[in-house]
A and B are shown apart, each in its own frame.
Chain A
């Protein structure tokens, strides 16, 4: 059939611009995760709406803490909001940026397409900022209401705070990207991959520790601030710059607030200019470096790696007599030290856990200084002993996930009846390289603190319970290292386990402190040792009987 004479030619649905296509691509990849290989069809993250909504609800729930700042001046409320926003965003951007900015496989997919490196960079930055703003928006929701209905804030506060939050998100994203760009420029592309991992871990750890320390510097227990916008040292803290903008527009509008606001604007503009303008050329170099493979001669020559030497000499060779456990130990240690994906999940995850015992130790000292000895003296030390037991629990629940999980099929192919020996190897690796050093460092700090040395035995009940903490995640053969896809790593189950361990730690440390003050501490230690020995033997037997489940 011929078309009518006045019919217009069909209009083709135009292609999205490359810029929009890239933004949409990176947002999809970010939300779904980079790899979905082998995931069950029903488990594939096709619909990300619910996942994202849940994350935003969690952030909004965290934001409800801002309700406690009702009645505080705008500046104080804003310092709190921006501190926490920068911590959350810093953690998010630091943990995501390396993978988003420098993905190895991406070079093979995109670098031969007609798009510039700058377009790639801008699309990625756009996605990072976009998701940052969603998270920041959710977290600041309650704070916006508090500010709006405060005596100082009013209707100007939401607008001012929205503006300052956008600036804070840009500053945060820009700062992390800038750190990567500078590393690339200073240390060269040959060491890019290892450097990215180290930087990402360091930035994450610094942000996490900063998130623990800064609020304690700024606020007294109960939320009373130790500062105002006139305090000179406040100008050194980025959250105060952005809070200054809120205070200048919707608060007191003093000269010092305007100065802080100006500092925030200048800092953000500078960071953006450096990260996305001046150093953007280095990004192309970095992307290219990921696409290049060159075998470099090892400076080590024929020397064996330290890990191989370590496991082949006593006392480790005695502890790792079984060859399967030894192999699993070496594998787990190597991934904890070398693998970017594992390191990025492990060390930032452990950082807040390591901080809390120190905070407890010092806080306890601050409160009890000059106070008479009481029944619960040393509780902080006892609690820290038990709390550090979470290290192997958390670490084992992290190292069982890997991007190279399919390689773990080798364990099932090998003539090994069940996963027990593999779990033992992983358990020993996290005990030796994570839990023991943490205990030694904490013990040393406590040893050198005046007045704490005599309470050091209170750490013993926690240390005695350690084999149980480390064995628990292995039950049922659930701690086979690197055997599950990273995308399946769920923190909800881990969170419940952590709460359980924390409660057990509170009970043990409470009993230990009570026994200490009652003079029957060593009897308590003996009883606990017998109980732990019995439990441990039972758990070990249970693990030994675990068999491989079917792979469907």
Chain B
């Protein structure tokens, strides 16, 4: 469903993503992990057609990223980590605008939006009366997730999707993406909340400094590296193992 071949992004002399190569079949939930600045968001932005690769290529749903960017965009949904929305639109105006960009007839869009509202426990009045700028962070995130799934894309990229969601909504969301994957959708899930990734994802890909470090099933990777948890494995790989000791030392500096 997704195939990367030596995908690279350079900014001048700096390489943000360095020759990434992997494939993701349909129906898989893939945790895409890496420390800050590892190149995760840049990779997701390349795969959604937002950023042009410097070298290499990728296909999404069989469409070439460079030659058929609009087809790629029609077949993917994306929840960016910024959670950006047009704040001076109401929730409904925003979602209707997104639906129109995918040429979804207005009646179908409204029906679908009502289904999402019901799922996320939002009120239709809130969606029609309030501007998005007045929404709480969690409500906005729900609108962004709705906007990513509204056109029923076969591939969905999530960048920190749980940010701002309350516990109930987070549980519902995790169940939703697992069910969507069983129905055949491909989910790429980028997050720093590793215990969630460990529980939800069929596979994890860990990158650092733009390069692929590990790729495999979470339980197998944890067992192979004898790390106990995915979090410990991640910190071992990305130089965070010292963090706990450093935190303890630093906390001591707060003593009066």
Chain A residues with a Cβ under 8 A of chain B: 12-18, 20-22, 24-25, 28-29, 32-39, 41, 44-46, 105-116, 190, 288, 291-296
Count, A-B residue pairs, CB within 8 A? 128
> Which B residues are CB-close (under 8 A) to A37?
87, 133-134
A105/B82 in contact, CB under 8 A: yes
Within 8 A of A (CB), among B72-92: 73-74, 76, 78, 80, 82, 84-89
- Chain A nearest Cβ from B106, distance in angstroms: 4
A115 to B76, CA, bound (A): 13
B88/A291 in contact, CB under 8 A: no
> Which B residues are CB-close (under 8 A) to A20?
100
Once A28-B88, A39-B134 are accepted as A-B contacts, the answer to whether A14 and B106 lie under 8 Å apart by CB is yes
A29 to B70, CA, bound (A): 24
A109 to B81, CA, bound (A): 11
A115 to B101, CA, bound (A): 7
- Chain B nearest Cβ from A408, distance in angstroms: 17
Q: How large is the interface on B (under 10, 10 to 19, 20 to 34, 35 or more residues)?
A: 35 or more
B134/A21 in contact, CB under 8 A: no
24 contacts between A and B (CB under 8 A): A15-B106, A21-B100, A21-B101, A24-B97, A32-B88, A34-B86, A34-B87, A36-B88, A39-B134, A44-B131, A44-B134, A105-B82, A105-B84, A109-B84, A111-B48, A112-B50, A112-B76, A112-B78, A114-B73, A114-B101, A115-B101, A116-B70, A292-B45, A293-B41
A14/B105 in contact, CB under 8 A: yes
Instruction: For A110, give the chain B residue with the smallest CB separation.
Output: B101
User: Is B187's CB within 8 Å of the partner chain A?
Assistant: no
Which of the residues A13, A113, A116 comes within 8 Å of B106, measured between beta carbons? Answer: A13
A33/B80 in contact, CB under 8 A: no
B98/A12 in contact, CB under 8 A: no
B78/A41 in contact, CB under 8 A: no
Chain B 36-70 against A: per-residue CB contact (8 Å), 1 yes, 0 no? Answer: 01000110010011111000000000000000001
Instruction: For B135, give the chain A residue with the smallest CB separation.
Output: A37
Instruction: For B14, give the chain A residue with the smallest CB separation.
Output: A294
User: Is B24's CB within 8 Å of the partner chain A?
Assistant: no
Instruction: Kindly list the 7 A-B residue pairs having the minimum CB-CB distance in the complex, ordered from nearest.
Output: A36-B133, A32-B88, A112-B48, A12-B105, A21-B100, A37-B133, A294-B11
Which of the residues A24, A33, A112 comes within 8 Å of B73, measured between beta carbons? Answer: A112
> Which A residues are CB-close (under 8 A) to B76?
112
> Which B residues are CB-close (under 8 A) to A111?
48-50
- Chain B nearest Cβ from A60, distance in angstroms: 26
Chain B 91-104 against A: per-residue CB contact (8 Å), 1 yes, 0 no? Answer: 00100011111111
B109/A15 in contact, CB under 8 A: yes
Once A114-B102, A292-B51 are accepted as A-B contacts, the answer to whether A39 and B133 lie under 8 Å apart by CB is yes
- Chain B nearest Cβ from A133, distance in angstroms: 23
Which of the residues A15, A45, A115 comes within 8 Å of B104, measured between beta carbons? Answer: A15
A13 to B112, CA, bound (A): 14
> Which B residues are CB-close (under 8 A) to A38?
133-134
A107/B105 in contact, CB under 8 A: no
Within 8 A of A (CB), among B12-37: 12, 14, 16, 37
User: Is B217's CB within 8 Å of the partner chain A?
Assistant: no
A109 to B73, CA, bound (A): 12
